[in-house]
Amino acid sequence: MAGAPPLMSCDPTAFLPCPRALGLYNGRDASFYRYGLSYRPGNRPLPGDILAPMDAIIAVEHLTKRFGNNPPAVDDLTFAVATGSIFAFLGPNGAGKSTTIKMLTTLLRPTAGRVRVAGHDPAADPDAVRRAFGIVFQDPSLDDDLTALENLEFHGILYRVPKIVRRRRIQELLALVELADRKDSFVRDFSGGMKRRLEIARGLLHHPQIIFLDEPTLGLDPQTRNHLWGYVKNLNRDEGVTVFFTTHYMEEADNIAQRIAVIDHGRIVAEGSGQELKDKTGTRSLEAAFLALTGNTIREEAGGAKDRMRQARRMWSGRH
Amino acid sequence: MSMDLNGVYVMWLREVKRFIRSKSRIIGSLGQPLLFLIALGYGLGPVFRKAGQGNYLAFIAPGIIGMSIIFTSIFNGMQVIWDRQFGFLKETMVAPVSRLSILFGRTLGGATVATTQGTLVLVLTIVAGFRPVSLVGVALGLLIMLLMALLFSALGMVIASLLRDMQGFQLIMNFLVMPLFFLSGALFPLDHVPEGLLLVARFDPLSYGVDALRVLLLGHGVFGLAPDVAALSGTIIVFLALGSYFFTRMEV
């Protein structure tokens, strides 16, 4: 990637403003709340910055994570996610998706490689990165003993969203996820779909630049899934939020994501639009493309040696 | 690592809100102290008096308050394990506040709850017939209760940072909390016990808490108020340091 312009986080003073900076909240530029105290006018690249496309909000280079002496869970990953895009991160169970998300979201330290999320290194400056993203985890992470409103309020206080902004934002988001009339109910009385919607609202409360959705539709019925992706698309369109998601429902990825990366055994085996992946594998559906790329064997949490050999063969055979 | 007051405040507020809401928990945790007061206070009272040791109910009242504080605080600290299982812990771990402030907020919240619970038990002992020697003693006693609550909430956090799930709960209960309570001199006078037991009690932080309460509520103790407060404060610092070491390194 030599010669490419340096990675910069969304810079409101730049010639081309980022889409979100145009939205004003309470008379202030939204970036004020987004960057908080970490905001550096101009955001000039530092000497250690990674070179990635100008519009990359997430840039990962040679990222590796090893647990003990096991084969690496994440092995030399390099990829970038464009600002304002919807990016799907697909892979069989145990492929390294969650480990990668944990490293991007400051929950795990990489063994090697470099990461930039919204212009910051999650390992070196976790708080700056934490302010920049919202996340919906694979498993619920709400406090069941608090009401929906309290869960949101607590999140807002933790993220230092000023009270006036917080109040308004909570109203907006509750309306968006259609929970406004249930705001004073305890979360323990919510259905799985309602909890997911509330978590999405919470993840967006602090005006993040990126939202990570780790299998957000797992265990939900088709109606709820449909609605949920509807919200996500609208958010991406209206607020310019970059969406980074994982799923096992291939048709969801195909319909929603502009770009898809397929990871297996900790390595990226293919990257492109849904159509590009189908063309590359000569298949008609993304599901068929996914199986062609990652094989038909059922995975245990950690792939065996045989799987890795098979995968190596597939990778090399594609390079003739 | 810095402190973020908003993080401390949110975690404190959460503990307090959950406590106020769980009426059954408040009333339920008064049951055990009441049982101890009646069964031991009234049951063993005559024997204690015959042995020339005075009023047993008055003697164990500070011990029972201590019991309620140690149980409430340690369980509150161990709440972290539930939060890990139900996922809420992750929400706090990716928030842009230091883990130290999360730890302090939770410890303060747990201590607030336990001090309130201890105060309710104090009221209960007064209803049962206990008469503290002075009002000043009661006021200062509340401060001692807060110190004890901070100490054991911090200990609960240390334990929770080391355990992955509730499987170890029985172990902690039977090999840590129960011995801390029973060997502390909460239920018997430490001035006539065998050397070995006294030595053990000297390493038990609850001994100093109960002793300080006895000094303030009854007018006499074994170790003395100043050593008690020093021991409690020192142990709080040690547990908080251990807690922040383990809690900040905890993987979600």
Query: Which tens digit of pLDDT belongs to each residue from A186-196?
Result: 999 999 889 98
DSSP state of A36: G
Give the per-residue SS3 of B20-36.
Answer: HHCHHHHHHHHHHHHHH
* pLDDT computed for residue A133 by the predictor: 94
Query: How far apart, in whole angstroms, are the C-alpha atoms of residue A18 and residue A13?
Result: 9
* pLDDT computed for residue B216 by the predictor: 96
CB B165 within 8 A of CB B85: yes
Residue A6 reports pLDDT greater than 50? no
Residue A37 reports pLDDT greater than 90? no
Work out whether the CA dihedral B130, B134, B137, B138 comes out positive or negative. Answer: positive
Query: How far apart, in whole angstroms, are the C-alpha atoms of residue A220 and residue A224?
Result: 6
Instruction: Determine the distance from the C-alpha atom of residue A165 to the mean position of all C-alpha atoms in its chain, rounded to a whole number.
Output: 24
- Please give the share of chain B, as a percent, with pLDDT higher than 90: 75
Contact B251 A130 (CB under 8 A): no
Residue A22 reports pLDDT greater than 50? no
Query: How far apart, in whole angstroms, are the C-alpha atoms of residue A264 and residue A93?
Result: 9
Contact B92 A158 (CB under 8 A): yes
Contact A107 B95 (CB under 8 A): no
Query: How far apart, in whole angstroms, are the C-alpha atoms of residue A287 and residue B242?
Result: 50
CB B121 within 8 A of CB B141: no
Q: How much is the average pLDDT of B73-101?
A: 89
pLDDT tens column, A201-211: 999 899 899 99
pLDDT tens column, A143-171: 999 999 999 999 999 999 999 999 999 99
pTM of the model: 0.81
A157 touches B: beta carbon within 8 Å: yes
* pLDDT computed for residue A151 by the predictor: 96
Residue B1 reports pLDDT greater than 60? no
What confidence tier does B147 reach under pLDDT thresholds 50, 70, 90? Answer: very high
A276 touches B: beta carbon within 8 Å: no
Closest by alpha carbon to A33, among A23, A46, A47, A48?
A23
This model of the complex carries an ipTM of: 0.87
Average pLDDT of every residue of chain B: 92
B5 touches A: beta carbon within 8 Å: no
Residue A53 reports pLDDT greater than 70? no
Q: Where are the alpha helices (DSSP H) in A240-304?
A: 250-256, 274-281, 286-294
A279 touches B: beta carbon within 8 Å: no
Contact B95 A158 (CB under 8 A): yes
| Closest Cβ–Cβ partner in A108, A131, A157 for B9 | A157
For residue A5, give the 3-state DSSP assignment. coil
Q: Residues for chain B: how many in total?
A: 252
Angle, helices B5-21/B23-36, rounded to nearest 10 degrees? 70
Average pLDDT of every residue of chain A: 80
pLDDT tens column, A100-147: 999 999 988 899 999 999 999 998 888 899 999 999 998 889 999 999
Q: Extract the tokens encoding A165.
A: 């902004």
A108 touches B: beta carbon within 8 Å: yes
